[in-house]
Amino acid sequence: MRIHLLVIAALALGSLAAKPDVLILYTTRTNHTRTVVEQVAGALGESAAVTVHGVHSSVTRPGILGYAKGIFQAFAKEPLVPLQEEPISWDRYDTVIIAGPIHCWNYSPVLRSYLLHHEAKFGGFPRKIKMGMIATQGGSGAGKAFKSASDLLALQPAETLVINESQLKRPAEVQFLSRQFASNLIAASTPAPLEVTHTPLTTLMHENL
Ligand SMILES: Cc1cc2nc3c(=O)[nH]c(=O)nc-3n(C[C@H](O)[C@H](O)[C@H](O)COP(=O)(O)O)c2cc1C
Ligand SMILES: *[C@@H]1O[C@H](CO)[C@@H](O)[C@H](O)[C@H]1NC(C)=O
Ligand SMILES: *[C@@H]1O[C@H](CO)[C@@H](O)[C@H](O)[C@H]1NC(C)=O
């Protein structure tokens, strides 16, 4: 009897300890990425503790001039979009997913600014984190965006998910792919960190903001 209780307690503790903490950082303009993130968060929720964190600019750029500025920043190698910062308990997370729209064959300037600002949180972890990458797009650019983000963070994604705009009209397909991404990410092992190939720009960023 006592042994049975111990076994049950050990199993319970084991399953608690095994539940990973997942952080999803996302940005969206027209809710495409939000739709996918909601599906992924729902699917992950069965086996992980999920925190969804929206990344926002502190400035809104309405109208055609704002759109033009957005395009300009999308092409900038190191976009410096002012960010609305909220604290994150980085140490808690074993797994971090970044998600955003593709703007001009790269992640949107807001998300890239956020990653530039916080790259040390990814690379500077005392333990290895598992990375997932999600993009929504009209039809092209996600592959290049994933590569740039991997190079910046010196982290290979364990799993990626790309959803084209046309697929968003088929919710069952989006749900299926989101569930597949979630279970593959949970099952994946953590890839070895990449070699850092650039000089961190964090100091420069702070001076400019
Ligand atoms: C400024 C801008 C640039 C874009 N560039 C691309 C692109 O290079 N490739 C692509 O497939 N889609 C591109 N798109 C389309 C978006 O990636 C697509 O609509 C995405 O699903 C939007 O997601 P969101 O609603 O989460 O912002 C662009 C959209 C905008 C506004
Ligand atoms: C996006 O979703 C949010 C939250 O559900 C909603 O408040 C907002 O109006 C939506 N925006 C667009 C452009 O659909
Ligand atoms: C997404 O769009 C691109 C370009 O149109 C296409 O090559 C690709 O097959 C599409 N992916 C899916 C899953 O429909």
Q: Could you tell me if residue 183 is inside a domain?
A: yes
Q: Is residue 200 part of a domain?
A: yes
Instruction: List, for residues 16-64, the tens digit of each pLDDT value.
Output: 556 899 999 999 999 999 999 999 999 999 899 999 999 998 888 778 8
Is residue 8 a part of any domain in this protein? no
Residue 9 covered by a domain: no
Question: Is position 162 within any domain?
Answer: yes
- Which pair of structure tokens corresponds to residue 3? 């042994």
**To the nearest 5 percent, what fractions of the chain are helix, strand and coil?**
50, 20, 35
* H or E element, residue 34: helix 32-44
Per-residue model confidence (pLDDT) at position 197:
64
Give the Cα separation of 159 and 186 in Å (integer): 9
State the CATH number of the domain containing residue 29: 3.40.50.360
**Is 5 within the bounds of a domain?**
no
In a domain, 134, yes or no: yes
Could you tell me the distance, in angstroms and rounded to a whole number, from the CA of residue 140 to the centre of ligand 3? 7
Residues 26 and 135: their CA atoms lie apart, in Å, by: 10
Per-residue confidence band for 204, with pLDDT thresholds at 50, 70 and 90: very low
Percent of the chain topping pLDDT 70: 81
Tell me the CA–centroid distance for residue 67 and ligand 1, in Å.
12
Number of domains in the chain: 1
pTM of the shown model: 0.86
Please state the rounded mean pLDDT for residues 64-90. Answer: 84
Name the 3-class secondary structure at 194. Answer: coil
Domain around 123: 21-208
Among all ligands shown, which has an atom nearest to the Cα of 168? 1
Ligand 1 atom, smallest distance to 163 CA: 21
For ligand 1, the distance from its centroid to the CA atom of residue 4, given in whole angstroms, is 56
Whether 29 is in the pocket of ligand 2, judged by its Cβ within 6 Å, is no
123 and 196 Cβ atoms separated by less than 8 Å: yes
